[in-house]
Copies of this chain bind each other. A is one copy, B any other.
Amino acid sequence: MLSYDLSIALLHEGMVSRDGSIVTTSLTMIDVHDIARSAATYGVSTVYIVHPSPHLRSLARTLTTHWISGYGSTYNPNRREALGGVKVVASFDEMVLDLADRSSGRAPRLLATSAKGGGDRMTFGQAFSMMNNEEIPYVLMLGTGHGMSDPLLARADYFLEPINGPTPYNHLSVRSACAIMLDRLYQSRTEV
């Protein structure tokens, strides 16, 4: 029985840049679309688009409104269904409070992935088993740019194993990585 309460946070503030400094990345509209569609496929509760810029949050809301109640909602109802699960917020803390609000005050538990090695990593099977056994909201943290900075990673309660293929290349797009992580969690249900 699949009964997790999993949300996704697409994060832009506190990311590592190409030169190693900590930056805020831009919001990319195709991320919103692709991640919302993957989330709808795998039964994700809410996709939080987290961005500190009011202008980019406004742009994200224009996009979602177009598909949820504007012309796009009749042109492509499938997109309405997917984007209906998107929530645009200003900060990580706003997301945590929003999730706690709708869970009788229970703080969500935060799962991160990082390409960095070491530490206690959960397998996807362990994560699924944990999520499926408790009535607690979980959040999958997704970084952009060159990944989440250490202060942001330090907020995570759990670290998932990295997604490795048979090659040393590990530069999946966040859209692809999200899809694979949701599928691996779902496929792990048979191991529980």
Contact = CB atoms under 8 A, between A and B. Distances in A.
Interface of A: 2, 30, 33-34, 37-38, 40-43, 78-79, 81-82, 163, 165-167, 169-173, 175-180, 182-184, 186-187
A78 B169 contact: yes
Contact of A163 (B43, B172, B183): B183
A114 to B, nearest CB: 16
Contacts of A180: 179-180, 183
Contacts of A178: 176
Contacts of A33: 173
B171 A42 contact: no
Contacts of A37: 169, 171-173, 176
Contact of A170 (B41, B79, B175, B179): B41
B179 A166 contact: no
Given A43-B165, A179-B179, A183-B163, A38 B172 contact: yes
A35 B34 CA distance: 13
Given A163-B183, A184-B183, A172 B41 contact: yes
